[in-house]
Structure formats: C-alpha cells, structure tokens
Amino acid sequence: MQVSEQQKQDLAIDGAIVLRGLFSPERLERLREAFDYGIAHPSPLHGYAYRGTDQETFNDYGNYENRAVHLQTVKDLGLGELVASLWGSRHVWFVGEELFVKKGGLGGRSPRHQDNSYSPVEGPHLLNIWTSFEKIPRKNALEFVRGSHRGIQYNGTSYNDANDHTKPLWHKTDWPRLPDIEAERAKDPNSWDVFTFDLDIGDALIFHSGILHGGAPVTPDCPTRHTLVYRFHGDQTFYRPLPVEGGSSYEYDISGINDPSLTPGEPYRSKYSDQLL
C-alpha cells in the first residue's frame, strides 16, 4: 500500500491513523493463520486481564516460541516496508506480537495506557499495527488521545483492578498516575481530545506505541473481537529505562526488562527484535 504525505503527517502529529483495506481477503487470511497459531500455542505467560469480571480479556504477548511464524508473516505481507514508508526510516525492526480475544458481548473497556510504560523505549519510531478480524463499529473501536505520544509519560496500569483502571503499575517513579479519562469526560465531554475510527474487515489501525489508548469494548451487537497487534521499532528508537527499582503491581515479574549495558538516550535494539530492513 502506498501511504500519503497526509497520512504520514497525521501519524506523526496525532499519533494514530487508519489504513483502509490494508489487508485484502487473501492477506487477511494469511494474518489470521498467524493469529490462530498463536492462540493454539500460547506462551506460559498468557492470561486473562480482569478474570471473572465482565471485563475479562484473553491476552498473550511476545511468545518467542512462535516468533518464526509471526516474523515470516510480517515479511510475507511486506509490513516492514510499509512501516519504513510511514516513518521515512532506513531500518525497521520487528519487536513482537500481541493477541487479544474478547467475547460474549460483555467485555468492558480496556484501560487507557501507553505501551511504552511497559517497555524501556522512547522516540518517534515506535509503532503498532492493530487488526481485528471482525467489523468494528466506532463505539466498539480502540480510542486514542490525540497527540499524547508527544506529551506526558504516565505510569502504567496494573491490569488487576477492574474497579480502578488507573491503579499504578510502577511503585517508585515520578511518572504521574494515569488520569481517569472516562470520569473526566463524563463531567466534561471536551476535557480530552479523544478520537477513533470505525473498522471494516481488512482495515488496520496504525499508531505510536506511546499514545494513550484504550476502550474497544464488546457489546451484544458487537459480541466478539479477535485482534492481532504487531509492533515495530525504527532508527529513532531510544533507550529509556523503566522504573523497576521499587517493583510493580504486575502479575508477572518484568523487573529484568531494562538493559544495563545501555545508557539513556542510546539507540535501542532489543536482543529479541529482528531487523527487517
């Protein structure tokens, strides 16, 4: 797919765009094969956020045992070239995949968060390609806070309190607690510049990993959502260590995610990423 200058500009400034028809039926089938393989072969760390509540969501992330499947899919679909064209980056690295399943028509809103509050990176070249295999109306779509990837770095959400999506991930940090955007919008609909896109089958959301995003509930009229996310880094991705010293509220130990061989501001290349270009 050829991307326009306007799409590049919107991605850089707003932080998220939609690419209509990125995946033809044949290309989407190829993507679904990779998704189904991941579901059939989950990692030991797969799990359910908010298990036992109406917000329960299946999630699996970065299963290294399945990496060859996803890496080949990315190459076959030319996604590295697409990402490079969006950034103008000479090099692109594939970081990994994430799988989501919401079903039953009762899955609540995913909490607002920034993906790089869980990863030691910053910079303009952080990108997610987010694809669902169902048609998603606007009210069920992922939502973004415009330009927030260029603003404050917030603490992450712990993903373990269904009654408080702002419960902090990191215990010892000067990163501010996540705002309760939905509560603030209920009082003043204009308090946050939130935007989204309806999605037809084959469309994909493209967004900076540091943008505040969340939402995407399933409802009785949109009862199921299967989503595959692929993440990428580029030349302008830099090391910014996570505040692991005080520990976290996360279900799993992620304290070893920092790379002590790097100093803050150095180009970041995870040992688990694969260079595409």
pTM: 0.95
* Distance from C-alpha of 214 to C-alpha of 240, rounded to nearest angstrom: 23
Torsion of CA 41, 45, 49, 50, to 10 degrees: 110
* Distance from C-alpha of 41 to C-alpha of 171, rounded to nearest angstrom: 33
Torsion of CA 15, 21, 26, 32, to 10 degrees: 40
pLDDT in tens, 139-180: 999 999 999 999 999 999 988 887 899 999 999 999 999 999
CATH code linked to domain 25-255: 2.60.120.620
Query: For residue 227, how many C-alpha atoms fall within 13 Å in the half-sphere facing its CB?
Result: 28
SS3 77: coil
Query: Which residues, other chains included, contact 83 with Cβ-Cβ below 8 Å and sequence gap of 6+?
Result: 89, 92, 127, 129, 232, 234, 276
pLDDT in tens, 208-231: 999 999 999 889 899 889 999 999
Report the percentage of the chain scoring pLDDT > 90.
79
Looking at the DSSP bridge assignments, the partners of residue 168 are: 157
SS3 166: coil
